[in-house]
Amino acid sequence: MVSESPLVAIVMGSDSDFAVMSDAVEVLSNFDVPHEVQVISAHRTPEKMMEYGRSARGRGIKVIIAGAGGAAHLPGMIASVTTLPVVGVPVPLARLDGLDSLLSIVQMPAGIPVATVSIGGATNAALLAVSILATADEGLAGRLDTYRHELSLLVETKNQNLQQ
Ligand code: RP5
């Protein structure tokens, strides 16, 4: 999906990552946060990656969510060319269960941060992006409160079901 004025950019190293990254799309859609989705590979399209990262702030993007698997350089490389907050999502591949992706993304050298979520954690990546936007948007902050309240109600419903 391409919004007219996206606030969050979701990028991934391959279309094969979309099965995981679609969770982020769903969260942002549910919160009515304008977003865009792109496949950008650190290895296969390095020039595009650099240009995308460099131009993101100027296009009005506030947060970048970057997912990649294996030798997952995309989040760190995007972060190296922008001062926007970058949230990294380690995508699990068939081999190594995503531990390779996690370690590739989480161990950034001091100075260039990537806020790394759990393996396959695209839902939390998007919720973190919403939280960042909500620091300057009380309406969005209220919707996050409602979301969390609904989570707690869900737990209570499950508890009630256990009693039956
Ligand atoms: C990474 O290589 C991508 O993020 C993907 O997780 C992995 C495999 O890509 P494909 O071979 O499926 O295109 O750069």
pLDDT in tens, 114-163: 999 999 999 999 999 999 999 999 999 999 999 999 999 999 988 889 89
| 17 labeled part of a ligand binding site | yes
pLDDT in tens, 26-52: 999 999 999 999 999 999 999 999 999
Pick the CATH number of 8-137 from 1.20.1630.10, 3.40.50.2300, 3.40.50.1970, 3.40.640.10: 3.40.50.1970
pTM, 2 dp: 0.94
- Pocket lining: 120 vs ligand 1, CB cutoff 6 Å: no
Rounded to 5 degrees, φ, ψ at 11 are -125, 155
ipTM value greater than 0.90: yes
Domain residue extents for the chain: 8-137
Strand partners, 64: 9, 86
- Pocket lining: 45 vs ligand 1, CB cutoff 6 Å: no
Cα–Cα distance measured from residue 155 to residue 140, given in angstroms and rounded to the nearest whole number: 23
